[in-house]
Structure 1
Amino acid sequence: MKKAYWLSIILFFYFFSLKGQPVIKNPDWNRFLSAHDLTFNKMPVSWEQAPFFGNGFIASMVYGDSTDLNRIMIQVFRTDVQDHRDSTAGWTAYSRPRLPIGHFELQTKGKITACNLRLSLWNAELTGTIQTTAGSLKLKHEVSAQKDLIFTDITTTGNENYTLTWHPDEAKSTRKILFPLSADIIPKFAAVYGEKYRSILKVYQPNPAPIYNRIRGVNVSTQNLLAGGQYTTAWKQEKLSAHQSLLTLTIQNSYPEQIATDQAVRLLTVNGRTNYAKNYQDHLQWWHTYYRKSFMTIPDKKLESFYWQQIYKLGCASRANGPVMDTSGPWFQPTPWPYITWDLNVQLCYWALNTSNHLDIAASLPNTLKRYQQHLINNVVPPEWRKDAAYLSITTAQDLIGSADDDIRYQHINANLPWVMHNVWLMYRYSMNKQFLKESCYPLLEKSMSYYLHLIKKEQDGKYHIPVGYSPEYPEKKSGQAGETKDANIDISLLKWGLQTLIASSKILNINADKRSNWSDILNNLADYPVDETGFRIGADLPFAVSHRHYSHLLMIYPLYLINADQPKNIPLIERSLSTWLSDPKALKGYSYTGAASISAAIGKGDDALKYIRGLYKFLLPNGLYKENGPCFETPLSAAQSLQDMLLQSWGDKIRIFPAVPHEWKNLYFDRWLAEGAFEVSAKLFNGETEFIVIKSLAGTRCTFTTTIKKPVAFIGRKKVELKMVAKNTYRVNLTRGQSVVIKKKGFNGPLFASTIN
């Protein structure tokens, strides 16, 4: 493995000439990524150890059973399968939960004794051999990147053979807390979640048992739902030779129609053995194109492997026309959180897609918000605010239904939709697509701010205040619900960012000029961030007295950058707030460390950022996934963003190259990462010094960047151009759409990346 890795690096630095400029040859991707594959030298026996696969809609895991050495399980998932009950069944976790699907069991003749399996990142497939006392099974397993199909090619040797059986899971929420299985639970449910449930909540009626059929040679397990719709698992097994067979399966979902079975049978009727080779080539083409969009290598090979595994996970988890990445990710397991969580989880899932140049599959988020905008309007309470406002509950299913009074514990959380609209705004900033801004960002951003405008009150001090808000997930109870406070910092931060962004957007789009004066008045007279000697408080009447995992009260630092390193007087406040938040390590969880890493990177502390990222390792499962009481998909993904923040930042209309590189990292480079303003950026650090930067403009916007290169020289094509210095280490250059500038240290004549040269 080490030989393959170093060979890829040697090939990467092979020189050739393009337009007279020495160039680094593109990497041998297969060899490079193979160094980061997940390998299994003994049989994984749980989902926490298992290899995992997906395509944004359907997914799988393959593992054994520690109690039965004759069993191999292929667990399958579909990310948009949910129940569709109304509030008479409770809030989302009970009425509209994501539902488990089930698993296939391969019962082997012999007992499993050993295995040699590899999850290839480059090919997004599992290959290898499982040894048994009767022979062996050679596996090749993948979830098709472009079709709702899962393929498992199995070849047996010796006396080994197996039987295949399907085991569906019950179509029921996996949340057990106060599940209304009997009438005596209803008053307890109402006491915790809201008095409205005392009169409307009904005892749970189970969904019917699945129906088994064989239709046109396809095995079918159909799960109808009492509230409408159905989902269907369908499969067929075909002989390829005497000892080789191909299992092809799909999971289809439909609502409100019950057409999933017909869809599944049609799909499997035309797919399987006859066109498997074509499907496989299409699958490889998708994944190989996906990886080639950007590149990164760093000296810390453990962290490098971790990064590329997150890029793989994102490729498994999202498609532009697919569901939002939820709390569990594609690989849903028993959890108290069978839904999408909007007070941090979704936001963290999507960040790394921007810089890594994967805005295409990140579109699942804005597309879902746009598709269900009317549901977001209907969520608003009181109803008279619906004329101009929208609201996103802390938990929803894929349809985003969730009234503001569905769960009294969180009835004053105002920040979910504004925060997720910051994600959508970033997608605009990384693309500079005005049509996207007009259709997918601005309308909902304005409605999310209008919700705040209904809440705010101008008090005797002449300032606008937010009477009550909720700061996730602050545990200290002062009065009322935990985390509730006047002028919660999360609300002040998002309202300030949102109004600034509305004003800027309305100017870009040349609309709503008449509203800007009101927005500006509120912005100029908004209550200040509540601060005390410990740093940023939770809110005006709630100090930070107890450490907790969530950095919701620090959004003005990260990711909003309203308080930032370009304001030297605020750096002590940032440092003090970070130190206070992290003061009790026992209260922290995995994403606490990734948040601390990104905040440290925001003020240029690369050594601290690296320390915090490495602090995440102790929380990871053997296969690199993460769980608390259930799976939490977002946490490892947010570490990929933290790593990106160390190497490239672009907030405030300025591209910062290598802003927080740890001192121990002397040689690294990234290629075609995206920056705000729609720039593709490539850069190389060698012996601790920046050798070159290449910036390509995708939209023709003004380019301002910072670099530690002393007296940099710049070329557009073969022509030397002058860089305008606008501040210390900060320069400006004008680029037209599609044009690249090469910035080098004086005397450097080494190679550049082939992909960055015009």
Structure 2
Amino acid sequence: MTPPSHDPTRRAVLGGLGLALVPAAPALAQTEHAGAARGWQLRQRVPWAEFMKGQDLLWGRMPRTWYEGPFLGDGLLGSMVYQEPGQNKVRFTVQHGRVQDHRPQFGSGWGTCRLPVGHVTLDPLGTITAVDWRLSLWDAEVTGTVTTDKGKLSFSAFIHDEVLVARAEADGEEQVRWTFHPEEAVSPRSASEAPPSGYTPNPPWTTATAGDVEQVLQPLTGGGQTATAYRVKDGTLLVTVGHSFPSATEAQESALARIRNAPPYGIMKKRHRDWWHDFYGKSFISLPDQRLQSFYWIQLYKVASASRTGGPVMATSGPWLESTPWPAVWWNLNVQLEYWLIHGSNHLELDSLTSTLDRNRDQLVANVPAAYRADSAGVGRSSDMFCNRSVGTPGTGAEVGDLTWALHNVWLTYRHTMDDKLLRDTVFPLLRRAINYYLHFLAAGPDGRLHLPSTLSPEYPVTPPQDTNYDLALIRWGCRTLIESAERLGIDDPLAAKWREVLATLVDYPADANGFMIGAGTPYAQSHRHYSHLLMIYPLYLVNWDQPEQRELIEKSVAHWQSLTSAHRGYSYTGAASLYAMMGRGDTALSYLDRFFDPASRYPCTANTHYAEAGPVIETPLSAAQSLHDMLCQSWGGIVRVFPAVPASWADVAIHDFRTQGAFLVSAVRKGGRTSFIRVRSLAGAPLRLKHGLDGPVTAVLPDGRPARVKDLGEGVVEITLGRGSEVLVHAGARPDPVIGPVPVSRPGAAWGLPPVPPPGATTPVDLSAYFDNDGVSTHEAMTDGDFDGSGYTYPAEELPPAGALVHEGLSFAFPAYGDGVENNVTGQGQPIAVTPGKYAKVRLLGAASSGVLTSALTATYADGTTAQVPFVLPDWGGQPGAGASEVIRCTHRHGRTGANSLRVGLFEVQAALDPARELRSLTLPALTRPQLHLFALSVEAPR
């Protein structure tokens, strides 16, 4: 296979050097006569406050964990709101993106990890009986009530300028009580693994009082300080966090000053709302699918809550740190996916990735071995916010391409701004060093082609091969971009000849009958969540759908990747959605995106649109928003593509000021399944090549009514002359009224959050003790006792409820006893379970699946001899509850044959409908192997 030929439109990618502007081709309809020119003006009719209210998240029951509750942030300080575990309190976490340890000798998991700060609780006197909360996206504020058996608490909270601002009022309750709880400054990995050898814990925190401000001061063994300052005054709670390094006192001073100098509540609230209202107005997207539309706007809120230019690069959980095996920045996929959303949404003010790489150049150089620091740079798989992580060398199986991939994001920021200063000062010099590191190791083989020694395709679990496709794609992209950047900047770089040589002689991408391989001699043969071996297709677009000779290879590569599903995670589906969007297959793209939202998925989007695997991570929902972008507007290869992969079910769509490569702002409306108009505004004067998707002859008209200069390039692409600051309206047929506003919702959907739980009917626990056939629980002292999943893993007994009566959301269960050698759950072997005869509306299952989400059915046998299938979906014990499931218990880890393991496992309650008109006699479990059912308790519920 030969490498794809150089894309003839690539010059347009860096500003269209050498492209001639030509008059409009005769085939294009220019319906406006110069003597009767009629101008136009794009109008925006978005009732912002009303529209955004329709996207809000709502809670009718108490969230219990970080992936269920409301979240607040300002790019630095973050707070999640949910029930204090096991207590009658509401927790507001207090975490900060700059708070980390400073001991690189212990690695990013312990030595330079993000560190916990603490949390505030709202402590009612009475027992909480109900909640009614709203996360207002428009105002970036959570408001609501907490009802207790003594009265009601009303509260509101927001974060502005690194201050958590909260107010509460009591009605019936005697008082409002806020309590700050400091947390130990130890790696979030500590719940599931022992610290590395030689690790010394950070000193304990101390407290101080300065007038009416309380402080918690946390010194750090590796230097620096974290300081929390808080005050309750006039019914308002203010909390802030400072972090300094290497100074051991600056954090205390800055946090104290921030509280003392905080403006009055009303002023803070106005400034806060003004910022967010301005933020949302920079772009607009409306979809006919309410659930997806709301999801999209929540992701915009989320990324603005987690990142701001000049702040720390987002860690895997953003500013909402929780117990996790990933308390750092991951550079081999997570960080790239986190930031794609900011480009099309016209929010480059959120790009902390570019500013992080720019200000940490010296560290990126120090990360490579000393012999290569004169001209190279890199970053290891995971690091702190200062990019502090060494990178190995090709030939040792190291993962070496992560900086180059991160720089693709920075290049995208350049392409969406056409800011030559960014290209000259940041992209070009850093990319030059990243590619230089590769050049030290490329060597000619017997075939005369340049080859790369063994490197790791991120996380693919085999011996690292030579000529890894992950790295070959990044080398090709990097060399092409360096050549084009040097041409645009007028740089006569002495390495240009070498870059051209690499492009001419670099070995082809290894491929076999199934498509692109992992690397030379290593086929894609086992399920893999990453699509690192497909980077040349997406997001680099080196092999793309505009190359007809590559289409078959693209299709079979993507299909083969998706055919092996056991290791897939949420971003495996969002990645597939974007890949199929590139092919123009909107319905297929949507079908893959829907899998991420499917409660039957092993790792679905959660109630508040967060996401978790073994711990909290935020990249996947943000990448799902980018998949929506890819369906609505693409701009790779120097062509702006409007509505390239819109599903047939989306008859009406609107986008406004969607930012594309070439620094264009695109507004477009689709009505009744057809594009009505496209407005393009040029911010940089780059050549506009537009794939419009309009039916019939195209009209392109300037705002004053004069026709634009247009050239038809064929295949639905036109080239339009458009100067800096100019705009054009493109349409077919009679000129439409160019108005942007919300589109009608054709697919209604419930609000994100947690709906209230209807009061259940009377529940009767079923005695399962005679059926138990599996020991899924072990104690800390005997972790090898039991085997829940066939691999020796078990639930930790110390984190399970005691045996006996267990009440969950008004439902009664009988939780089993557990001890050494005691069987405590029943697996699905086709066995009938006798129940107390009666008429029941539902069966309630308490348990979890192993080896994936279980989609199956019970068989109900009724007194009249009839049977019926009773379908249910049970989450995997390491997964998250989708729709129709609720989490009863979440353990901080699991036990294994070699000790504690970081996977946070849960037990879930799910329901299945019975026929309440017939008397039930028994329920037969399905006969299963993988995934396997594990029932710890079962109850039947009478009709209400």
Aligned equivalent of 2:304, options 287, 292, 315 = 315
Quick check: 1:155 aligned with 2:169?
yes
Gaps of 5+ in 1: 1-18, 187-201, 240-244
Shift of 1:585: 2.3
The residue identity in structure 1 corresponding to 2:55 is H
User: Residue in 1 aligned with 2:531?
Assistant: 551
Structure number with the higher helix fraction is 1
> How has the CA–CA distance of structure 1 residues 548 and 600 changed in structure 2, closer, same or farther, with 3 Å as cutoff?
same
Aligned equivalent of 1:366, options 351, 354, 357 = 354
User: Residue in 2 aligned with 1:296?
Assistant: 285
User: Residue in 1 aligned with 2:905?
Assistant: none
- Cα distance in 1 between the residues matched to 2:581 and 2:122: 48
- Cα distance in 1 between the residues matched to 2:431 and 2:495: 14
User: Residue in 2 aligned with 1:582?
Assistant: 562
User: Residue in 1 aligned with 2:335?
Assistant: 346
Aligned equivalent of 1:250, options 240, 254, 258 = 240
Greater alpha carbon shift after TM alignment, 597-606 vs 744-753: 744-753
> How has the CA–CA distance of structure 1 residues 289 and 91 changed in structure 2, closer, same or farther, with 3 Å as cutoff?
same
- Over the aligned positions, Cα root-mean-square deviation in angstroms equals 1.9
User: Which structure has more RCO (C-alpha within 8 Å, separation ≥ 6)?
Assistant: 2
- Cα distance in 2 between the residues matched to 1:180 and 1:43: 33
8 Å CA contact 1:366, 1:441 repeated in 2: no
8 Å CA contact 1:507, 1:513 repeated in 2: no
Q: Counterpart of 1:570 in 2: which secondary structure? A: helix
Shift of 1:104: 1.3
8 Å CA contact 1:367, 1:440 repeated in 2: no
User: Residue in 2 aligned with 1:538?
Assistant: 518
8 Å CA contact 2:396, 2:455 repeated in 1: no
Shift of 1:177: 9.0
Q: Counterpart of 1:548 in 2: which secondary structure? A: coil
Aligned equivalent of 2:484, options 495, 501, 504 = 504
The residue identity in structure 1 corresponding to 2:443 is K
- Cα distance in 2 between the residues matched to 1:119 and 1:180: 38
> Where do residues 713-732 of structure 1 align in structure 2 (5 Å cutoff)?
713-717=699-703, 718-732=705-719
Quick check: 1:282 aligned with 2:271?
yes
Quick check: 1:707 aligned with 2:676?
no
Q: Deviations over 1:392-418 (max 9, x none)?
A: 110100111111259x99961111001
Aligned equivalent of 1:51, options 43, 46, 70 = 70
User: Residue in 2 aligned with 1:6?
Assistant: none
Aligned equivalent of 2:407, options 410, 418, 421 = 421
Q: Counterpart of 1:287 in 2: which secondary structure? A: helix
- Cα distance in 2 between the residues matched to 1:670 and 1:25: 11
The residue identity in structure 1 corresponding to 2:203 is P
Q: Deviations over 1:654-678 (max 9, x none)?
A: 1011111111111111000001000
> Where do residues 85-164 of structure 1 align in structure 2 (5 Å cutoff)?
85-87=103-105, 90-144=106-160, 147-164=161-178
Aligned equivalent of 1:446, options 427, 432, 442 = 432
Greater alpha carbon shift after TM alignment, 455-464 vs 673-682: 455-464
User: Residue in 2 aligned with 1:402?
Assistant: 389
Shift of 1:343: 0.2
Quick check: 1:636 aligned with 2:631?
no
- Cα distance in 2 between the residues matched to 1:264 and 1:513: 48
Shift of 1:648: 0.4
- Cα distance in 2 between the residues matched to 1:633 and 1:517: 41
Aligned equivalent of 1:626, options 596, 611, 616 = 611
Q: Counterpart of 1:98 in 2: which secondary structure? A: coil
- Cα distance in 1 between the residues matched to 2:654 and 2:246: 50
The residue identity in structure 2 corresponding to 1:371 is R
Gaps of 5+ in 2: 1-37, 743-944
Q: Deviations over 1:670-709 (max 9, x none)?
A: 0000010000001111111111000100000111011221
TM-score, normalization: structure 2? 0.72
Q: Counterpart of 2:423 in 1: which secondary structure? A: helix
Shift of 1:515: 2.1
Shift of 1:24: 4.2
- Cα distance in 1 between the residues matched to 2:577 and 2:723: 35
TM-score, normalization: structure 1? 0.90
> Where do residues 357-396 of structure 1 align in structure 2 (5 Å cutoff)?
357-362=346-351, 364-381=352-369, 383-396=370-383
Shift of 1:495: 0.2
- Cα distance in 1 between the residues matched to 2:84 and 2:226: 27
- Cα distance in 1 between the residues matched to 2:384 and 2:396: 16
Question: What number of residue pairs does the alignment pair up?
Answer: 698
- Cα distance in 2 between the residues matched to 1:518 and 1:391: 20
> How has the CA–CA distance of structure 1 residues 405 and 94 changed in structure 2, closer, same or farther, with 3 Å as cutoff?
farther
8 Å CA contact 2:68, 2:608 repeated in 1: yes
- Cα distance in 2 between the residues matched to 1:22 and 1:451: 51
User: Residue in 2 aligned with 1:204?
Assistant: 199
8 Å CA contact 2:168, 2:176 repeated in 1: no
User: Residue in 2 aligned with 1:672?
Assistant: 657
The residue identity in structure 1 corresponding to 2:184 is E
Greater alpha carbon shift after TM alignment, 101-110 vs 58-67: 58-67
8 Å CA contact 1:110, 1:160 repeated in 2: no
Greater alpha carbon shift after TM alignment, 225-234 vs 161-170: 161-170
User: Residue in 1 aligned with 2:28?
Assistant: none
8 Å CA contact 1:180, 1:203 repeated in 2: no
8 Å CA contact 2:677, 2:736 repeated in 1: no
Quick check: 1:264 aligned with 2:280?
no
User: Residue in 1 aligned with 2:86?
Assistant: 67
Q: Deviations over 1:254-309 (max 9, x none)?
A: 000021111111111121xx522111111111101110000011111111111111
Shift of 1:23: 5.0
Q: Deviations over 1:6-42 (max 9, x none)?
A: xxxxxxxxxxxxx853754431111101111011111
Greater alpha carbon shift after TM alignment, 160-169 vs 433-442: 160-169
Q: Counterpart of 1:170 in 2: which secondary structure? A: coil
Shift of 1:621: 1.7
Moved segments of 4+, more than 6 Å: none
Shift of 1:164: 2.6
- Cα distance in 2 between the residues matched to 1:167 and 1:563: 53
Q: Counterpart of 2:494 in 1: which secondary structure? A: helix
- Cα distance in 1 between the residues matched to 2:154 and 2:739: 43
8 Å CA contact 2:640, 2:689 repeated in 1: yes
Q: Counterpart of 2:654 in 1: which secondary structure? A: strand
The residue identity in structure 1 corresponding to 2:215 is V
